[in-house]
Amino acid sequence: MKNRNTLQRRLVLETVRRMHNHPTADEIFREIATENTLISKATVYRNLKILSEQGEILHIPIPNGADCFDFQTAPHYHMECRGCERVFDVDMPYQKDLEKKVLNRNGLLIESHHIVFQGLCPHCQEQKALEHQKKTG
Amino acid sequence: MKNRNTLQRRLVLETVRRMHNHPTADEIFREIATENTLISKATVYRNLKILSEQGEILHIPIPNGADCFDFQTAPHYHMECRGCERVFDVDMPYQKDLEKKVLNRNGLLIESHHIVFQGLCPHCQEQKALEHQKKTG
DNA sequence: ATACATGCAAACACTTTGCAGCACA
DNA sequence: TGTGCTGCAAAGTGTTTGCATGTAT
């Protein structure tokens, strides 16, 4: 008898489905808390874990930062902006065949992969351009 | 006048160059500490940061775990074993052209990328096989 | 002489856990 | 009714920082 349908679990799921900007656990917590309902951050973490294990939401592990979550569960790639550190969806088909390109000379069994791109979002590109103008006069 | 050649910085660099198993900051700290020299963990972190910024060593950010470092500075990919959580080099050429496959419909500027594979190392494949034998009798 | 580096401890960011009470099935 | 869930606080993990002192150049 697993997986009870509690108010808190429903709220976490609904909130992730509603926020389309790769929210972190903390952002989800704040979104729920500011609305009306009292919820514990531990509960948010626990439910995010359960929901992503069940495939209801997608867990995106972020190196050097808070992991974030996505309502879109089909595997896809992300870019982390080195300016604002926000996470964006990348417009590239999922490379199913990438894992086959690994030579198994060393006996490793590959099961899945993640690609994280680094770069600049449009807004931060502008910022950098302005900074550069200022410097060069 | 940056970048002084201190004993601690030399030790961190030498230790990373000597350990060929993707050590974490803590493993590097313990390696240096157990030998002979007193070193602070903060100093290890500071020097790892400086050395990787200078391209002397490679910083490998690991989602959901301690970042690790590599004496081999040419870009290459890694696999994280879901059994023992160790990091292994993956035998696949660097996909320089991957970034060009991203459609810039959304205006993102891609500068670099990381691929992390998940899977099982040879040792953990054996372990899993033994476990399975035990269960099925 | 003076930046830059160090050691130490405290702070930090993110996440998990122990426990007593609560509530869904 | 009982297992699963919650809130709270505390602990855990990995990393950074403030500060007084030390040292390479």
pLDDT tens profile A22-57:
999 999 999 999 987 789 999 999 999 999 999 999
The backbone torsions φ and ψ at residue B93, rounded to the nearest 5 degrees and listed phi first, read -60, 150
> Which of B108, B119, B120 minimises the CB distance to A79?
B108
* Residue numbers in A near B95 (CB within 8 A): 98
- Nucleotide with C1' nearest the A44 CA: D6
Residue A112 and residue B90 in contact, taking contact as beta carbons nearer than 8 Å: no
- Taking only the tens place, the pLDDT of each residue in A81-92 is 998 889 999 999
Look up residue B107 and give its amino acid. G
- pLDDT (0 to 100) of residue B63: 83
Residue A131 has pLDDT above 90, yes or no: no
Q: How far apart are CA A101 and CA A81, in angstroms?
A: 28
Structure tokens at A29: 């917590």
Which nucleotide lies at the shortest CA–C1' distance from B3? C4
Tell me the CA–C1' distance in angstroms for B38 and D20.
19
Amino acid A80: pLDDT: 93
Q: How far is the CA of B110 from the C1' of C13 (A)?
A: 27
What is the end-to-end Cα distance of chain A in Å, rounded? 68
Query: Which of the four pLDDT bands, split at 50, 70 and 90, describes residue A18?
Result: very high
Work out if A15's Cβ lies within 7 angstroms of strand D. Answer: no
Q: Over the stretch B31-81, which tens digit does the pLDDT of each residue have?
A: 999 987 789 999 999 999 999 999 999 999 998 889 999 999 999 999 999
